[in-house]
Structure formats: structure tokens, C-alpha cells
């Protein structure tokens, strides 16, 4: 599953300082490996999922054994905390040996860091495993419409799906309008995480691209459009939906895992996810009942990639590149796609992999609730990150708990 927050997008105050230059050329991989040995990499990444934490620990074991790199997972509740740390170091002139070596990053936080010259690179497309990445079929060179330009390395693909408990909701719902109509007949059986939680804002964006009259405008910054006119259909939709939500929209689950617990406790029958394999993974470890399945909407659902980026002042840039490269390896990618591990989509072009590695993907049982790539249908592009910020702020004013 994929995590960003909104606060860092506003951090645009400090004047840009010259980036420190690292003498290691990422294209000289042998030199990178030599420099990386013995380094400790502090990976600042969301820590709200046991499965994700276990995967990162597994990656640490692999890079330690194979490359002599120590990986420390700095567990975050909010990605903006790491961004703020890097910005604070830059403002203090701490241009070497920063506390953050690698960040699980995308969306507004990437836009903010890139604009403020807080990132090291470009490095991603010089990594050896980049050769396996599906640059034509997947959104691995843009992040919420912002070109990555080698400053981020992709490591997982995500797409919106809806999880439904077939004991109470047997059939998929084809559209946002169908979801609304179902909630009228089944009040209290649907909710979504409270924005600005990433998954909550994802529901808002997914709904907006369906109900707005011009979804093309969402690919441009929000200040280049008539914001109120574009999003008015979203507020009309939510005005009708909110009274039908769990607890009548007076409170919301705070996170995706909180939402899953409501489904496991049979308080709701419908939930949103940004990981097509999440339901299978949750069923496998007894966090969801076996009757849960997933569906996508007929006109497609939002999709994006998860990335890692290296701050400009990391003291372990070589080690961070080793971790980023390993995350794109066929070994790590097939492990992450296993629903017993994470159930994340791969960033690789599986058809172009060597036979043995391709066979490992083909042999993988994706799980009882996971749609095939064909069943996932059309992937809708993410709006520009500025829409996410303004929509979440306006949602809080209109529908925030206790309003």
C-alpha cells in the first residue's frame, strides 16, 4: 500500500542551497558496492503495518548478507516528519551526514522535496535493476504527474480496489453512483479513512475523477483551474453519501488498518484499498474473513507507484542506492507480490525477465481475493498533488469529525 501526507507540500519557504556533491557515480556500480559496504542506511518509512515492517526487515537481512549494508527502519506515522527533518537540516547548513538516508516517498512530499532541492540524484535509472523496470506499461517516471527524472526509484505498484464482504454484498458495484445508491439501502455499512490520511484522500480523488465533468484538468496544478467549479460535483456527492456512512459520518477510521478492523468486526461491508493484494494478504493472516473479495469500477481506478528517494545530505548514499536497487530486483519484487508477504504489484516487466525469474512470478499464487492484471482494467492517472492538498483541506472544513 501506498503512503504520503500533505503537510510537507506546503514547506516551500527556505531558499535553495547548493546540493552537496557525492563523488560516487551511480553508473559505476562496482564503486557503489565498495563504498556501501559497512554503511548503515536509515530508511524512514511508514511503520503502520506489521506486514510492511516485516518486509523491510527481510530486505535488511538480504542487503546485510549480500552487500554488508545495515538497514535501520525508522518507522513513521507521517512521511512529512522525515521531509521536515531534511528541510530543517538544510536550513541549519547541515549538508553532510544527514539523519535520513532513504525515504518511502511519493505525491506531494516528492513534489516538495524536488522543488526545494532536497533530493540526491539523479540516480535511479543508473541502477542495474532499472533494466528490468516496465517503463512503458507502468507509471514509474512520473509521480502524481511530476516527472521523477531519476530522483526516485520505484519499488511497488498500487491501484485502487474496493473490498467487499460477499456474505452481505455479493456483487461488485460498478461506479461511484452505484456505491452511493447501495449506501442508501445499507446505511452504516461503508466508510473510508479520515482525510488527510492518504487512503481517505485517495477515495476523494477516485470519486472526483468519476463525477467531475473534466478530469483532464486534474493533471494540471489546481491553481490553474476553477477549483470550486471542478470539485463542486464531489461535494454534492459527499453531501448525499455522508449521512449513509458508518456512524453517519460523525467519525471515521483514522487509517487503512483501522478500516480493515471494522470489516473484520462486521461493522462495514465495503472498504477501499490501494493494494490489489491487500485483501488476500489479510485473509491469509486472519485479519479479514475468507468471504471478502475485491472489485474495481467499470471506468477504471487510480493507480501509482511507490518510490524511494535519497536526501541530498545523506551520509550513506552508496548504501541507500544498494537498498533501492535491491528493492527493484526480481527476488525482492516476487517476494513483495506474494500475498502472504505484502501482495504488492510489481514494477518490473515480467515478460522480459530471464526464464527462471519469470517462472517464479508465474508460479506465484496471488490469493483468493486478488484480481488478475486483466481484471484490474484501466488505470486512471493520479491528479497533480496540489489537488490532493486542497481537496483534503476543504473536506476537513466541510465534513471533519464533529462538524
Looking at the fold, whether 149 and 164 belong to one and the same domain comes out as: no
The mean pLDDT value for 149-160 works out to 96
**Within-domain flag for 51:** yes
Residue 382 has pLDDT above 70, yes or no: yes
**Within-domain flag for 18:** yes
Looking at the fold, whether 202 and 64 belong to one and the same domain comes out as: no
pLDDT of 23 reads 60
Residue 1 has pLDDT above 80, yes or no: no
Angle (CA) 370 375 380, round 5°: 105
- Rounded to whole angstroms, how far apart are CA atoms 320 and 386? 29
Looking at the fold, whether 240 and 107 belong to one and the same domain comes out as: no
pLDDT of 22 reads 54
pLDDT of 226 reads 93
Residue with cell 485479519: 287
Residue 60 has pLDDT above 70, yes or no: yes
- Pick from 30, 19, 20: which is nearest to 321 by CA? 30
**Within-domain flag for 86:** yes
**Within-domain flag for 371:** no
- Rounded to whole angstroms, how far apart are CA atoms 190 and 14? 42
Please give the C-alpha separations between residue 173 and each of 71, 137, 246, 274, 319, in angstroms, as whole numbers: 43, 27, 18, 17, 46
pLDDT (tens digit per residue) in 94-138: 999 999 999 999 888 999 999 999 999 999 999 999 999 999 888
- Rounded to whole angstroms, how far apart are CA atoms 280 and 51? 13
pLDDT of 215 reads 84
pLDDT (tens digit per residue) in 225-263: 999 999 999 999 999 999 999 999 999 999 999 999 999
- Rounded to whole angstroms, how far apart are CA atoms 172 and 164? 8
CATH number at residue 359: 3.40.190.10
Residue 27 has pLDDT above 60, yes or no: yes
Looking at the fold, whether 139 and 210 belong to one and the same domain comes out as: no
Looking at the fold, whether 228 and 334 belong to one and the same domain comes out as: no
pLDDT of 10 reads 37
pLDDT of 335 reads 96
The mean pLDDT value for 305-331 works out to 97
pLDDT of 7 reads 38
**Within-domain flag for 69:** yes
Residue 360 has pLDDT above 90, yes or no: yes
Looking at the fold, whether 117 and 202 belong to one and the same domain comes out as: no
Q: Are 254 and 196 in contact (CB under 8 A)?
A: no
Question: Which contiguous run of DSSP H or E holds residue 356?
Answer: helix 355-362
**Within-domain flag for 321:** yes
For 93-227, where are the E strands, in sequence order? Answer: 102-105, 142-143, 146-147, 153-159, 161-165
pLDDT of 401 reads 57
Alpha-carbon torsion (324, 328, 330, 331), positive or negative: positive
Looking at the fold, whether 168 and 225 belong to one and the same domain comes out as: yes
- Rounded to whole angstroms, how far apart are CA atoms 331 and 270? 34
Which 3-state string (H, E, C) describes 240-309?
HHHHHCHHHHCCCCCCHHHHHHHHHCCCCCEEEECCCCHHHHHHHCCCCCCCEEEECCCCCEEEEEEEEE
Question: Which contiguous run of DSSP H or E holds residue 31?
Answer: helix 29-36
Q: Are 204 and 178 in contact (CB under 8 A)?
A: no
pLDDT of 71 reads 98
**Within-domain flag for 177:** yes
Residue with cell 478492523: 261
pLDDT (tens digit per residue) in 210-230: 999 888 899 999 999 999 999
Looking at the fold, whether 71 and 91 belong to one and the same domain comes out as: yes
pLDDT of 284 reads 87
Q: Are 144 and 384 in contact (CB under 8 A)?
A: yes
pLDDT of 294 reads 97
Looking at the fold, whether 128 and 219 belong to one and the same domain comes out as: no
DSSP conformational letter for 217: G
Looking at the fold, whether 217 and 297 belong to one and the same domain comes out as: yes
- Rounded to whole angstroms, how far apart are CA atoms 212 and 232? 8
- Pick from 344, 347, 356: which is nearest to 280 by CA? 344
**Within-domain flag for 132:** yes
DSSP conformational letter for 339: T
Number of domains in the chain: 2
Domain that holds residue 72: 7-156+305-366
Looking at the fold, whether 78 and 119 belong to one and the same domain comes out as: yes
Looking at the fold, whether 286 and 391 belong to one and the same domain comes out as: yes
> In the predicted model, what is the mean pLDDT of the chain?
91
- pLDDT band of residue 200 (cuts 50, 70, 90) is very high
Amino acid at each position: 500500500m501506498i503512503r504520503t501526507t500533505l503537510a510537507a507540500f506546503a514547506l516551500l519557504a527556505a531558499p535553495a542551497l547548493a546540493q552537496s556533491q557525492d563523488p560516487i557515480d551511480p553508473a559505476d556500480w562496482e564503486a557503489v558496492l565498495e563504498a556501501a559496504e559497512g554503511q548503515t542506511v536509515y530508511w524512514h518509512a511508514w511503520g503502520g503495518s506489521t506486514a510492511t515492517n516485516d518486509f523491510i526487515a527481510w530486505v535488511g537481512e538480504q542487503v546485510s548478507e549480500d552487500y554488508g549494508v545495515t538497514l535501520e527502519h525508522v518507522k513513521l506515522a507521517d512521511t512529512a516528519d522525515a521531509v521536515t527533518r531534511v528541510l530543517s537540516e538544510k536550513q541549519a547548513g547541515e549538508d553532510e551526514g544527514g539523519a535520513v538516508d532513504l525515504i518511502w516517498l511519493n505525491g506531494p512530499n516528492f513534489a516538495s522535496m524536488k522543488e526545494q532541492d532536497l533530493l540526491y540524484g539523479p540516480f535511479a535509472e543508473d541502477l542495474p535493476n532499472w533494466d528490468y523496470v516496465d517503463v512503458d506499461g507502468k507509471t514509474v517516471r512520473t509521480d502524481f504527474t511530476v516527472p521523477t527524472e531519476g530522483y526516485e526509484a520505484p519499488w511497488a505498484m498500487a491501484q485502487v480496489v474496493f473490498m467487499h464482504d460477499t456474505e452481505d454484498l455479493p456483487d461488485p458495484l460498478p461506479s461511484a453512483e452505484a456505491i452511493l445508491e447501495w449506501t442508501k439501502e445499507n446505511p452504516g455499512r461503508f466508510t473510508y479513512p479520515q482525510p488527510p490520511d492518504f487512503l481517505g484522500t485517495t477515495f476523494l480523488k477516485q470519486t472526483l475523477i468519476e463525477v467531475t465533468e473534466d478530469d483532464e484538468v486534474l493533471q494540471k496544478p489546481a491553481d490553474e483551474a476553477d477549483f470550486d467549479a471542478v470539485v463542486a460535483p464531489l461535494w454534492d456527492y459527499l453531501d448525499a453519501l455522508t449521512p449513509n456512512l458508518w456512524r453517519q459520518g460523525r467519525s471515521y477510521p483514522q487509517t487503512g488498518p483501522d478500516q480493515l478492523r471494522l470489516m473484520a468486526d462486521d461493522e462495514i461491508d465495503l472498504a477501499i484499498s490501494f493494494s490489489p493484494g491487500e485483501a488476500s494478504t489479510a485473509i491469509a493472516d486472519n485479519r479479514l474473513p475468507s468471504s471478502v473479495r475485491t472489485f474495481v469500477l467499470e471506468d477504471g481506478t487510480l493507480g501509482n507507484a511507490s518510490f524511494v528517494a535519497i536526501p541530498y545530505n545523506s551520509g550513506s548514499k552508496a548504501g541507500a542506492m544498494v537498498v533501492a536497487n535491491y528493492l527493484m530486483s526480481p527476488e525482492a519484487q516476487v517476494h513483495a507480490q506474494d500475498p502472504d508477504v505484502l501482495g504488492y504489484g510489481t514494477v518490473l516487466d515480467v515478460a522480459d525477465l530471464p526464464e527462471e525469474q519469470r517462472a517464479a512470478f508465474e508460479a506465484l499464487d496471488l490469493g483468493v481475493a486478488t484480481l488478475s492484471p486483466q481484471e484490474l482494467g484501466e488505470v486512471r492517472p493520479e491528479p497533480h498533488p496540489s489537488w490532493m492538498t486542497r481537496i483534503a483541506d476543504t473536506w476537513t472544513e466541510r465534513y471533519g469529525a464533529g462538524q
